[in-house]
Amino acid sequence: MDSSLPSIPAKRYFTIGEVGELCGVKPHVLRYWEQEFTQLRPVKRRGNRRYYQHHEVLMIRRIRDLLYDQGFTISGARNRLQELVQSERQLRRNATDGVDADEVLGSADEDFDDMAEPFDSADAPGHALQGKSISLQKELIEIRALLTL
């Protein structure tokens, strides 16, 4: 993501102008993105004025990154965001089912080459599942890194 964007102040609500400055996009673009991305639903108050919350500012920065920096189309970015939201829901579901999400994900800096040790299939009958869980773990760490952008 673009590191030249200013840090997000600790406020509960942001006006459309403030969000535009924080995310490097113009207000008319934000209004358009509201139509295209169902995840963006700012609170509307008196006079239909929009007020964005912190998580929505982060979402807008993520959308901006997908569109401007990674070159996604609107529909591609919409699909990618949907995948990320579903992955995040699954992680939360696992956490509420007694599975610690941090335990599943491990550290984002962890080197997975050390984890994928060679083994003999005769010694480990569940080896196919082990390989799948390692690839799933890698994918989840990539998703986690994207969500923290």
* Tens of pLDDT, residues 13-52: 999 999 999 999 999 999 999 999 988 999 999 899 999 9
CB atoms within 10 A of CB 62: 21
pTM over 0.75: no
Between CA 34 and CA 67, with CA 69 as vertex, the angle to 5 degrees is 25
Structural domains of the chain in order of their starting residue, each with its CATH number: 1-73 (1.10.1660.10)
Question: Which residues make Cβ contacts (< 8 Å) with residue 114, sequence separation at least 6?
Answer: none
Could you give the angle at the alpha carbon of 24 between the alpha carbons of 29 and 82, nearest 5°? 60
**Which residue stretches of the chain have pLDDT < 70?**
1-3, 98-133, 135, 148-149
Q: Decide if 134 contacts 116 (C-beta within 8 A).
A: yes
